[in-house]
Amino acid sequence: RRNIAVMTSGGDAPGMNANVRAVVRAAIFRGCKAFAIMEGYEGLVRGGPEYIKEMTWHSVRGFLSEGGTNIGTARCKDFRERAGRLKGCKHLIEAGIDALIVCGGDGSLTGADLFRAEWPSLIKELRDTNQITAEQHETYKHLNICGTVGSIDNDMATTDATIGAYSSLDRICKAIDYIDATANSHSRAFVVEVMGRHCGWLALMAGIATSADYILIPEKPSSSRGWQDQMCSIVGKHRAEGKRKTIVIVAEGAITSDLEHISANQVKDVLVERLGLDTRVTTLGHVQRGGTAVAYDRIIATMQGVEAVKAVLEVTPDTPSPLIAIDENKIVRKPLVDAVKITKSVAAAIESKDFEKAMSLRDSEFLE
Ligand code: ATP
């Protein structure tokens, strides 16, 4: 029997609530106590009953479909420092928690991985400075930690989908369907900027699902001249064939092969100046995060929450911390440390202009 805590961290994503609900209920079902850490790592660093709350079966009623995260999330600077993590360690022990499930993006799970790696030295320091007893030191020798990936960006390695990505994609597609009508009516071009940070998945999939004329993503950049020529040639051809509307999707992280950011306004200027198109920019912004979770996100969030509880009950001090992933339609455990490492290498490959490598580390079959 364990005391299992769940938290959501980083950017909110539809399906995080479903994940919290599944963890709480699966923990109670297995005879454990369930806790929620409010406001992500901020709650862990602050501690106390206001931030670490015991949850009952009923506390998560209605969570399944709701967007956002009802237990709060935050970006927490203090947790990036050892002093902040030391406080977090003390607060978990004070609350009697010996297993932690973190639902968040790559940053949050990097933090989780570091926390687990540091745990022995953190509890030693707490013991040496008499902040915990020798008995507590012995009881909380190991922190069982497990990650579930909640992020609209779908940017985490070793999982096919992150919780929230399909809900966000659905919202983007609906918004573009609305824009289509006005684009068609006025024979306009629309440049739509979508989220995704350094990952082009949302832009690429939205482009396929709405048959966009051109898509700009960070993983497949070309020179400044290159993308402009290619876009104008494709859009020009579509227009010559009688198409009345033009949709160009720009990932917020779109770059040139010289790593210069490409903004939606820059794309608009090219369409206006070179093709003479009446062009508008639509930045979808936070609507992409809003609303209820689509069925797929509810399903993976629930199944992964149940698996996360199983994992923390089974993992021994010698097994690496797991990340609960979906791989070829199966809910599986992957080493958290690997997922974090590969995700970081994609960013490093892009920074060093090794786009081939970035593509092969991401799902290259989508990007060819
Ligand atoms: P999203 O993908 O939605 O942006 P994310 O989890 O990647 O979510 P971040 O802002 O990168 O979002 O991280 C969330 C929090 O995780 C940070 O505010 C910080 O508290 C913690 N964190 C991130 N990186 C680290 C790190 N290297 N070490 C310790 N903690 C970290």
pLDDT in tens, 182-209: 998 999 999 999 999 889 999 999 999 9
How many residues comprise the chain?
Answer: 368
Who contacts 29 (Cβ-Cβ below 8 Å, separation ≥6)? none
Q: Which of ligand 1's atoms lies nearest the C-alpha of 12? A: 3
With the most atoms of ligand 1 within 8 angstroms of its CB, the residue from 37, 108, 162, 337 to mutate is: 108
Q: What band does 363 get if pLDDT is binned at 50, 70 and 90?
A: low
What pTM does this model have? 0.94
pLDDT at 367: 43
pLDDT value of position 316 = 82
CA distances, 272 to each of 48, 190, 191, 218 (Å): 57, 11, 11, 23
| 8 three-class SS | strand
User: Confidence band (pLDDT; 50, 70, 90) for 350?
Assistant: confident
- Cα 121 from chain centroid? 29
| Atom 4 in ligand 1: residue holding the nearest Cα | 11
Res 138 pLDDT > 90: yes
Instruction: Catalogue the long-range contacts made by 91-95 (C-beta closer than 8 Å, 24 or more residues apart).
Output: 91/44, 91/45, 91/46, 91/47, 91/48, 91/51, 91/52, 92/5, 92/44, 92/52, 92/140, 92/143, 93/123, 93/126, 93/132, 93/136, 93/140, 94/47, 95/3, 95/5, 95/35, 95/47, 95/52
Q: Burial-class residue 274 by CB neighbours within 10 Å (0-12, 13-18, 19+).
A: middle
Q: How far is the CA of 80 from the centre of ligand 1 (A)?
A: 8
Taking CB atoms and a 6 Å cutoff, what residues make up the pocket around ligand 1?
9-11, 41, 75-76, 79-80, 104-108, 110-111, 114, 151, 153
Do 27 and 34 contact (CB within 8 A), yes or no? yes
Going by alpha carbons, the residue nearest to atom 20 of ligand 1 is 76
What is residue 292's DSSP assignment?
Answer: P
Give 74 Cα–ligand 1 centroid separation in angstroms. 9
Q: What is the pLDDT of residues 323-341, one digit of tens each?
A: 999 999 999 999 998 888 8
**Residue 45 · residue 87 · CB < 8 Å:** yes
Backbone torsions φ then ψ of 196, nearest 5 degrees: 135, 0
Q: Whose CA is nearest to atom 18 of ligand 1?
A: 75
Instruction: Report the candidate in 230, 359, 304 with the shortest Cα–Cα distance to residue 21.
Output: 304
Each residue's pLDDT tens digit, 4-50: 999 999 999 999 999 999 999 999 999 999 999 999 999 999 999 99
What strands lie across the sheet with 99-104, from one edge to the other?
A: 52-55, 33-37, 3-9, 99-104, 144-149, 322-327, 330-335
Residue 365: per-residue pLDDT: 40
Tokens 């010289």 label which residue?
258
Catalytic residues: 153
Q: Report the nearest atom of ligand 1 relative to the CA of 75.
A: 18
Cα R_g (the chain), whole angstroms: 23
Residue nearest to ligand 1 atom 26, measured at CA: 111
Give the rounded distance of the alpha carbon of 293 from its chain centre: 14
| Whole-angstrom distance, CA of residue 254 vs CA of residue 310 | 39
At 364 the pLDDT is 44
The region, left, alpha or beta by phi > 0 then psi within -120 to 50, assigned to residue 84 is alpha
Query: Residue 333 in contact with residue 55, Cβ under 8 Å?
Result: no
Q: Which of 329, 240, 314 is nearest to 277 (CA)?
A: 240
Mutation choice for ligand 1 from 7, 9, 42, CB with most ligand atoms inside 8 A: 9
- Which atom number of ligand 1 is nearest to the Cα of residue 11? 3
Q: Return the ligand 1 atom nearest residue 105 CA.
A: 6
Q: What percent of the chain has pLDDT over 70?
A: 98
99-104 vs 144-149, strand pairing mode: parallel
274-327 pLDDT tens trace:
999 999 999 999 999 988 999 999 999 999 999 999 999 998 878 889 999 999
Average pLDDT of the segment spanning 91-112: 95
Residue whose Cα lies nearest atom 16 of ligand 1: it is: 108
For the chain, the average pLDDT equals 94
Which three-class secondary structure state does DSSP give residue 59? helix
Closest protein CA for atom 13 of ligand 1: 107
DSSP state of 153: T
Give residue 259's pLDDT: 93
Ligand 1 atom showing the smallest separation from residue 152 Cα: 3
**CA pair distance 259, 185, nearest whole angstrom:** 36
Q: Yes or no: say if 12 and 73 are a contact pair by the CB < 8 Å rule.
A: yes
Q: How far is the CA of 352 from the centre of ligand 1 (A)?
A: 22
CA–centroid distance, 158 to ligand 1, in Å, is 18
Q: Ligand 1, residues 79, 323, 343: which to mutate, most atoms within 8 A of Cβ?
A: 79
